Chains A and B, each alone.
Chain A
Amino acid sequence: MSLTITCPICGKRNAYEFRYGGEDKGKRPEEVKLIPRAWCNFVHMNKSVAAIQKEWWCHQDGCSAWFAIYRDTTRNLEVSDPNEDESKVKA
């Protein structure tokens, strides 16, 4: 299906060149006193939102870089950071 992803090094490329790396779940939990449920939440649990999500990708068939993008899962389109200040985008 059609999807292009912007690699920070190679630019806009066909998504089939990339490997999806999962939803952005924030910082990896500290291993000290880590309980199985907290680890499971970090590793396996997904929000699976039908909306814009921040997610990780690896340019597997290219430069091998890991990076995060925003994508609308209902339209299957890469979008700009929805949290970013609009004035900054214009500047």
Chain B
Amino acid sequence: MFGKFQRLWAKPPLKKSYDAVIIGGGLHGLATAFFLARNYGMTNVAVIEKRYIGFGGAGRNTAIVRANQRTQENLPLYKEGLDLWPILTKALDFNLMFYNCGNLNLAHSEAALKALRLQVTSAQIHGISSQLVDPKECKALIPALDISDRPTYPIFGGMYHPPGGIVRHDAVVWGLAKGAAKLGVHIHQQTEVTGIEVENQKIVSVDTSNGKISTPRVLNAAGGYSAAISYHMLGIRLPISVLTIQAMVTQPLKPLINHVVSSGAYHVYANQTLKGEIATGSHMDPWPNYTTQTSAYYIKHQAEALTKLMPCLKGVKFMRSWAGLADMTPDMAPIMDGNEPIEGYYMDCGWGYFGFKSSAVTGKYMAQFMSTGECPDILKPFTLRRFEQHRFMGETPAVVEYSPNN
């Protein structure tokens, strides 16, 4: 029944030089490495990971994927990202367990419904399936919902986005690592980047705990740690606040929630995993830190929110909780930039809690950026310079009442 155990990726020694060094063995780093090797033939690439691949946000998110963001810059990127999951499953020959059950966002006020109307229209203009639904239709989608006027914030309607769903995040990590390694990419775990050397405004080398690597290109894809790396190693400040975001799962239940359900007013999103557990996350802890501590405060908050929305969940127990780091920008859109102010230095950070759903597609375009040195049109709006140019993306109100400060 079981075949011979085989490693999914090799463990080669650290070379003295690489064509590109990627800091961070998370999904963005691994995806970029994979596409660099596959699409652009750049196989002399190292992914440097301080702990183990998928340690950070890649393995801590709630695995939700969707493409119903708000702004015209973000929508095409997320749409392509969503379309990529089945393609990637085949390309990697690895089951990513993409389950497109659809997402239902609930609105609890007229204002929230108006915001969703704008979001639905924006999605439809970009050819993304998304529609407004009334409370009865919400109930038809998820029978466990309480659509009466009993809850503090009754359900006014919702936004239903059928192509979204969930993807098994660990499988994406392993699949991409396997795919990249097969093409010749070196994945170095337990290797810490300790410094980045710059000469004449050009990247020359990267210092690691296992030796120096000379390279003309470095990608900062360290997720929650990217802002600290940027400041500590290069002195570049970024408009990022690193906040902890907590998530938890309940005990396994029979099939109950057959769509991803979320509510801005209750600050909750939930989906039932294929194992039957209800995985749920909430808002971020509102002060920056680099711990991944959890707290009773949020367990209580989640329990209250979930049982208000779905009263039948009363008495169901949480099994475990965990936390991850979210690198939040003021407009809740990422920073993808390169060769400015240092030639050969690329950044792919500030993803906040959108890093998972965008990982594959971002890897594809960052690979194009790094191999050609020219920023692809689709990534141009995400430049770091937009903040001083007062060109904020306006993703902040994408989910009503969500911002880094509330």
Chain B positions 364-394 with a Cβ under 8 Å from a chain A Cβ:
387-390
| Interchain CB contact under 8 A, B388 and A37 | yes
Cβ–Cβ contact B238 & A45, under 8 A: yes
**Contact assessment for A49 and B239 in the assembled complex, using a CB-CB cutoff below 8 Å:** no
Q: Does B146 contact A (CB under 8 A)?
A: no
* Chain A residue at smallest Cβ distance from B293: A1
User: Which residues from chain A contact B240 at a C-beta distance below 8 Å?
Assistant: 46, 48
Which residues of the partner chain B approach A37 to less than 8 Å between Cβ atoms?
388
Interface centre among B285, B288, B295 (most CB of A within 10 A): B288
B297 close to A (CB within 8 Å): yes
* A50–B192 CA distance with the chains assembled, in angstroms: 15
Chain B residues numbered 303-321 whose CB sits less than 8 Å from any CB in chain A? none
Contacts A1-B293, A40-B387; is A48 near B285 (CB within 8 Å)? no
Looking at the assembled complex, report how far the CB atom of A4 sits from the nearest CB atom of chain B, in whole angstroms.
Answer: 12
CB–CB B291/A76 < 8 A: yes
B22 shortest CB reach to chain A, Å: 20
A44 in contact with B239 given A1-B293, A74-B291 (CB within 8 Å): yes
CB nearest to A40 among chain B residues: B388
Chain B residues, Cβ within 8 Å of A39: 388
- A20, B286: Cβ atoms closer than 8 Å: yes
A49 contacts B231, CB within 8 Å?
A: yes
B185 CB–A CB distance under 8 Å = no
Q: Report the interface size for chain A: residues with CB under 8 A from the other chain.
A: 24
User: Is B302 interfacial (CB 8 A cutoff)?
Assistant: no
Question: A48's closest neighbor in chain B, by CB?
Answer: B227
Contact A48 B231 (CB under 8 A): yes
Q: Mark B278-301, 1 if CB is under 8 A from A, else 0.
A: 000000011111110111010000
Cβ-neighbour of B242 out of A15, A48, A71 (below 8 A): A48
Chain B proximity of A57: nearest CB distance (Å):
8
> 1/0 per position for A1-24, CB-CB distance to B under 8 A?
111000000000001100110000
Interface residues of B (CB under 8 A from A): 225, 227-228, 230-232, 237-242, 244, 285-291, 293-295, 297, 323, 330, 387-390, 405
Task: List 4 additional A-B contacts (Cβ < 8 Å) besides A45-B238, A46-B227, A48-B230.
Answer: A44-B387, A45-B237, A48-B238, A74-B290
- State the A residues within 8 Å of B (CB): 1-3, 15-16, 19-20, 36-37, 39-41, 44-50, 71, 73-76
Instruction: Pick 26 A–B contacts, CB within 8 A, sort by A.
Output: A1-B289, A1-B293, A1-B295, A2-B295, A20-B287, A36-B389, A36-B390, A41-B388, A44-B239, A44-B330, A46-B227, A46-B238, A46-B239, A46-B240, A47-B231, A47-B237, A48-B227, A48-B241, A48-B242, A49-B231, A49-B232, A50-B232, A73-B242, A74-B289, A74-B291, A76-B291
